[in-house]
Structures are given as structure tokens and as C-alpha cells.
Amino acid sequence: MANCLRDASRRAPADALRRTGNALDPRRWSELIRPLPRSVAFAARALRGSPDEPLARILATRPEGIALLAGAFLDEMLTGVFRAVHPPRPEAEIRKSLDDALLAIERFERHGWFETPTRFHRTPPPPADPSFSTAHTGRIAYEHLTFTSGYAPHRDDPGRERWLAYEANATAHAWVLRHDEARPWIVCVHGALMGHPVLDLSAFRARWLHHRLRLNVAVLVLPLHGPRSSHRLPSNDFPVTVDPLDTLHGVTQSVWDLRRLLAWIRRETEEPIGLQGMSLGGHTVAIAAGFEPDLACVIAGIPVVDLSELFGGHLPERALYHDEYARLMQASHRLLRLVSPLAFPPLVPAERRFIYAGIGDRLVHPRRQVQQLVAHWEGPTTAWYPGGHTGAFRSAPIGRFVRAALEHSGLVTPEARTTAS
């Protein structure tokens, strides 16, 4: 397969990626006026009925219908901004990414990793050097945990040296809220373009989880996010980079760092541990469910399942990407199978698996993404809220769903019930 893709790439016209348009190209900035017609088209399709009859019923009601349309429009706005500001990639850069991806496919095929993806991932030891400092954000006092990640791509992986050159990424970070007495843990993993305490702790309602539900809370910072950033433009970094090997290494390190954090907690206590992730974090915890059978629960929120489909579908609709870029997307789809939740049968028992998602999500598509994980997890307890992707941060029904999942899993006692805030 890799050879076929390489041969085809050599036939691509040399100027296929030169027709890019500069920063003033109206094709780039026209993306900013498309969210409204896209949202209207979304509503029209839903109101016509199938295949989204529940969506049509919600749109026909108030205030749920208004909230659903507002959420869809906000999602489309974010997508439009991303498409407009996403910088053109030079032809040489696309060629280099494609060549590296094809080399990686050949190597991974020889190792048999596509047939057995679990062998691609390694089990990390607990961190040997955890360090804590105290910090505040708003009303929340927390501890800033750092430790050496210890992750490195396989020795002869293409892209290894580039990944290891991201020096700040070698240190793992987490925002931690602990009680003085032994308490259960909930470990949270944020979404793309987050990784800052004010965003992460508020998105997961960390103060509520800690003070009201009496849980210890840890929010892991993903690779190349927040203090681990490469300080390049966000559109050049994991996970929105067009380079599939950076995406592959980013997800693999995310799972490695998460399991390393879990190993540290288990070394410190015998209290149960649950996982919760949002968006890209939902993708991460869903993979971890295929490696960590002893978790009290796994809550995958608005989860990404197929990163190549997600970002390929949201890239600019300009003459920027042609034959070679299409072949890069094909190679990306093959490579990222190694870091798809669908490649790992869940080891966490069925009654401990939970999913929540927005029925009007325009970033992580309900059918093409979320429903695949629902099927793969064999029908876990699932909540659909009337909103878009970004609505999960503020959704009161999702707050109640998370609380119920934590109660069902034994992490929270019924007397700790309270309204999410």
C-alpha cells in the first residue's frame, strides 16, 4: 500500500500545491462568511426529518431549539476561523511529510503493528521525579504537578528527531486538587488548543468536583499544549498540524503520559480512579480504556474517534491542497489507525463506560465520530444534549450526567449530590 501511494505521489503535477493564494486571497477569508449559510443548511436538513429525527424535534421547540442552533453556529464560526487562518503549506513541506508517512507505513507493516495496534504502545513506569508547586486561578487553589514524560518514538520512527526536539514537551504537567484525607480520584484530559489552568479547571468544573463531590482531581496537560507548547502558531502544532507523524506521536505520548500519571496515583494510594476527557481528551481516555482494566469509570465527552477524518474534513476548501495533499491524507488515515479508540477493545467493564455528546455538534460529527465509539463500546450509557461541541463546557444536563456516572461507579456517594455549577 505504501509503495502504491508513493508511486502515485510522483505523478502529481509539480505546481499542484503552488496555487495557494497569499494572506489577502479572498478564498481564505470567505470562510468567515460561510458559518451562517452552513448553519441554515444544517437546520434545514434536520427539519426535513431523517436521519436526525430527534434533532428535528429539538429544533421545533424552545428554548432547546434556539440553544441548539446557537451551538451549531458557534461551532461553524470556530471552523471558519480555523480555515481562514490556517497557513498555506509549502510544496516541499507537504512532500517531506508524505515521504516520512510512507516510510513509517512500510516500517509499521513489517512490525505487524497495524494488525495488532496494542503492540505499538508501550507501558510506562511511574514517574521518578514528581514535583509540586502551589498556584491559584480565580477562586481555585491547585497544585502544579510536573514530571519527566520519558516518552520517545520508537528508535527508527520517521519524525522521531523532530518530535524529540520539542524540548518543553519533554516535561509533563497536570493541575491537581487534593484532599488531606484519602479520597477517590478523577483524572481529566482537556481538548485541543487548551492546556491552561483557567480553561481546563473551569471546563471540568474542578472546584465542584473537588469541594462538593469530595474527589481528588488531576487535569493532565496534553503534549504541545499550554506550558508544553513549541511556541509555533497553534495551526502548526499537534493535533491540528497536517503532519500525520506529529499527530501520531502526539496521541501516543498523550496515552503514555496519562498512564504514567495513573501509575503515580496508584503508587500513592489504593483509592479508585476514574477518567474523564473532552474532545481530544475524550479520544485519549477512550484509548486508555483499552489498556487500563482497573479504572472505576471512563467518561468520554464529545469524543473524537477518527482524527484524520476530523481534521481533513475541516481544512480549507481552497486550491491549496491537491493531489499530494490528498495522498498525505490517505497515508494519515492509515497511520492514525494505530491511535484510534476503535482499534482497542475496551477492558473497562461495560457498566463503567459513559459517553456524552452534542446532537448538534458541527466539529465532532455525531454519526461519523461519536456513534462509532458508541457501537465499539457496545452501547454504553450515553447522554445527548441539545447543543454543539463547545456547549459541553456549560451544559447543566452534562453536569448532572457526569455526577450520575460518578455515583454509579462508586466514586461519589449519593449524599454528595449537588447541582453542577
Domain ranges of the chain: 21-85, 91-416
Which alpha helices (H) appear in 113-175, and where do they start and end?
Answer: 160-164
**Model-level pTM?**
0.83
Q: 41: exposed, middle or buried (C-beta count within 10 Å: 0-12, 13-18, 19+)?
A: exposed
User: Residue 292 contacts by C-beta under 8 Å, 6 or more apart in sequence?
Assistant: 259, 262, 275, 347, 348
Cα distance between residue 261 and residue 10, in whole Å: 44
Residues 6+ apart with CB under 8 A from 271: 182, 183, 184, 185, 216
The whole-number pLDDT of residue 116 equals 96
Distance of CA 340 to the CA centre of its chain: 11
Strand partners, 358: 385
Give the pLDDT score at 46. Answer: 56
State how far the Cα of 291 lies from the Cα of 348, in Å rounded to an integer.
9
How far apart, in whole angstroms, are the C-alpha atoms of residue 10 and residue 30?
A: 32
Element (H, E) at 275: strand 273-278
d(CA 54, CA 223): 37
Per DSSP, which regions of 351-390 are E strands? 353-358, 381-385
Place of cell 462508586: 410
Q: For position 8, what pLDDT does the model report?
A: 41
Residue type, 291: F
Q: Provide block-wise average pLDDT over 10 residues at a time, the chain (421 residues).
A: 46 39 51 56 54 50 59 65 61 85 95 96 95 90 96 93 94 97 97 91 94 96 91 59 88 98 96 96 97 97 88 54 75 94 96 91 82 93 84 84 95 66 43
Strand order in the sheet with 297-301: 131-137, 140-148, 171-177, 216-220, 185-189, 273-278, 297-301, 353-358, 381-385
Q: Which helix (H) or strand (E) holds 51?
A: none
Q: Is 83 exposed, middle or buried (0-12, 13-18, 19+ CB in 10 A)?
A: buried
> CA 33 to CA 37: how far, in whole Å?
8
Which CATH topology does 91-416 take? Rossmann fold (3.40.50)
pLDDT in the model for residue 327: 85
Using CA of residue 347, residue 295, residue 118, residue 246, what is the dihedral sign?
A: positive
Res 232: pLDDT: 60
